[in-house]
Amino acid sequence: MESSTGKQTTVTRLIRWIARLWSVASILIILLLCVGEGVHYTGPMQWLGFLFYPVGISIGMILAWRRECLGGGIAVACLVIFYVIHLATAGVLPRGWGWLVLAAPGFLFLLCGFRRDKASKPLQQTAAG
């Protein structure tokens, strides 16, 4: 029978690969949208929003392949900042669920990083004690 630590490691590994595959799909969709629709921003706030979503989110997801907490944190922070910029400039939050779906791997990378850190803490305490 598998121990609880082994099950947690398996679940974490599964979350990691779901996040990785989803991030590749998200980045490809974002690239297709940028190339197919073109980038037609007129003001500095629109360019700033573009810097955070999709550029910052994509960078965060790419970075998360090696540093899950850092990359996931960047992706989630860029999503939140994008929402704040959109609210400040348009007066409403972005409509639709697509924004969150494309950025969701950032949340999964954070979850995976937290699970990994939580699983390694008892091992560090045992080795130190």
Q: What is the spatial distance between Cα 28 and Cα 35, in angstroms, rounded to a whole number?
A: 10
Mean pLDDT of the region 27-54: 86
Does residue 1 carry a pLDDT above 50?
no
Q: Tell me the average pLDDT across 55-60.
A: 96
What is the residue type of 66?
R
* CA atoms of 55 and 27, how far apart (whole Å): 9
| pLDDT tens, residue by residue, 38-48 | 777 778 888 88
113 pLDDT higher than 70: yes
As a whole number, the mean pLDDT across the chain is 88
In angstroms, the CA 47 to CA 115 distance is 35
Dig out the tokens for 88 from the structure. 């400040």
Which is higher by pLDDT, 58 or 48? 58
* pTM for this predicted structure: 0.83
For residue 121, pLDDT beyond 80: no
Report the interhelical angle of 98-128 vs 68-90 (nearest 10°): 150
Average pLDDT over residues 59-80: 97
Does residue 61 contact residue 71 with C-beta atoms inside 8 Å? yes
- What mean pLDDT comes out for the span 52-76? 96
Residue 8's φ and ψ, nearest 5 degrees, are -65, -40
Amino acid letter at 38? Answer: G
Distance CA 99, CA 83 (A): 9
User: What pLDDT does residue 124 have?
Assistant: 55
Q: What pLDDT is stored for residue 38 in this prediction?
A: 74
Residue 87 identity (one-letter amino acid): L
Neighbours of 50 (CB within 10 A): 16
**CA torsion through residues 25, 101, 49, 77, sign:** negative
